[in-house]
Amino acid sequence: MNIALNIRNLKKVYGNGVSALKGIDLQVEQGDFFALLGPNGAGKSTTIGIITSLINKTDGQIEIFGHNLDTDSSAAKACLGLVPQEFNFNVFEPVIEVIANQAGFYGIERKEAFERAEHYLQKLGLWEKRRTTGRQLSGGMKRRLMIARALVHQPKLLILDEPTAGVDIEIRRSMWEFLREINSSGTTIILTTHYLEEAEELCRNIAIIDHGELIESTSKKELLNKLNMETFIFDLSAPIKALGLASGLSMKLIDETTMEVEIDKNNSINRVFEFLSSNGIEVLSMRNKRNRLEELFMCLVDKNKNERRSAP
Partner 1 sequence: MNTKEKFIAYKTIVIREVLRFSRIWVQTIVPPMVTMGLYFVIFGNLIGQRIGPMEGFNYIDYIVPGLIMMSVITNSYANVVSSFYGTKFQHSIEEMLVSPVPNYIILLGFVTGGVVRGIAVGIAVTIVAMFFADILVHDLVVIFSMVLMTAILFSLAGFINGVYAQSFDDISLIPTFVLTPLTYLGGIFYSISLLPQFWQDASLFNPILYMVNAFRYGFLGVSDIDLGMSYAITLIFITGLYVFGLRLLQKGHGIKT
Q: Which stretch binds partner 1 (CB under 8 A): 74-82, 205-213, 220-228, 231-239?
A: 74-82
Q: Does 70 bind partner 1 (CB under 8 A)?
A: no
In terms of CB distance, is 166 or 248 closer to partner 1? Answer: 166
Helix (H) or strand (E) holding 230: strand 229-236
Among 104, 123, 154, 258, binds partner 1 (CB under 8 A): 104
Whether 62 contacts 5, CB under 8 Å: yes
In terms of CB distance, is 103 or 261 closer to partner 1? Answer: 103
Among 47, 102, 187, 217, binds partner 1 (CB under 8 A): 102
Q: Does 56 bind partner 1 (CB under 8 A)?
A: yes
Among 66, 91, 168, 222, binds partner 1 (CB under 8 A): 91
- Which residues, including other chains, have CB under 8 Å from residue 97's CB and lie 6 or more apart? none
Q: Does 19 bind partner 1 (CB under 8 A)?
A: no
Q: Does 97 bind partner 1 (CB under 8 A)?
A: yes
Q: Which stretch binds partner 1 (CB under 8 A): 21-29, 51-59, 169-177, 247-255?
A: 51-59
C-alpha closest to that of 157 among 42, 23, 61, 34: 34
How crowded is residue 213: how many other Cβ atoms within 10 Å of its Cβ? Answer: 17
Q: Does 17 bind partner 1 (CB under 8 A)?
A: no
What is the total residue count of the chain? 312
In terms of CB distance, is 102 or 291 closer to partner 1? Answer: 102
Q: Does 110 bind partner 1 (CB under 8 A)?
A: yes
How crowded is residue 87: how many other Cβ atoms within 10 Å of its Cβ? Answer: 14
How far is residue 210's CA from residue 307's CA, in Å, rounded to a whole number?
A: 12
Largest CA distance in the chain: 74
- Which residues, including other chains, have CB under 8 Å from residue 288's CB and lie 6 or more apart? 230, 231, 232, 233, 295
C-alpha closest to that of 182 among 264, 305, 81: 81
Total site size for partner 1, rule CB under 8 A: 37
How crowded is residue 229: how many other Cβ atoms within 10 Å of its Cβ? Answer: 14
Side chain identity, residue 168: D
Q: Does 54 bind partner 1 (CB under 8 A)?
A: yes
Among 55, 233, 253, 269, binds partner 1 (CB under 8 A): 55
Among 27, 58, 101, 267, binds partner 1 (CB under 8 A): 101
Q: Does 288 bind partner 1 (CB under 8 A)?
A: no
Q: Which stretch binds partner 1 (CB under 8 A): 58-66, 97-105, 200-208, 222-230?
A: 97-105
In terms of CB distance, is 97 or 210 closer to partner 1? Answer: 97
In terms of CB distance, is 28 or 108 closer to partner 1? Answer: 108
For Cα atoms 305, 311, 312, give the angle at the middle one, nearest 5 degrees: 145
Among 22, 106, 165, 290, binds partner 1 (CB under 8 A): 106
Q: Does 74 bind partner 1 (CB under 8 A)?
A: yes
Helix (H) or strand (E) holding 154: none
- Which residues, including other chains, have CB under 8 Å from residue 114's CB and lie 6 or more apart? 96, 100
**Per-residue DSSP letter, 221:** H
Q: Does 298 bind partner 1 (CB under 8 A)?
A: no
For Cα atoms 19, 25, 29, give the angle at the middle one, nearest 5 degrees: 140
Q: What residues make contact with partner 1 under the rule CB under 8 A?
A: 14-15, 49, 52-56, 73-75, 77-78, 80, 82, 84, 86-93, 97, 101-102, 104-110, 113, 149, 153
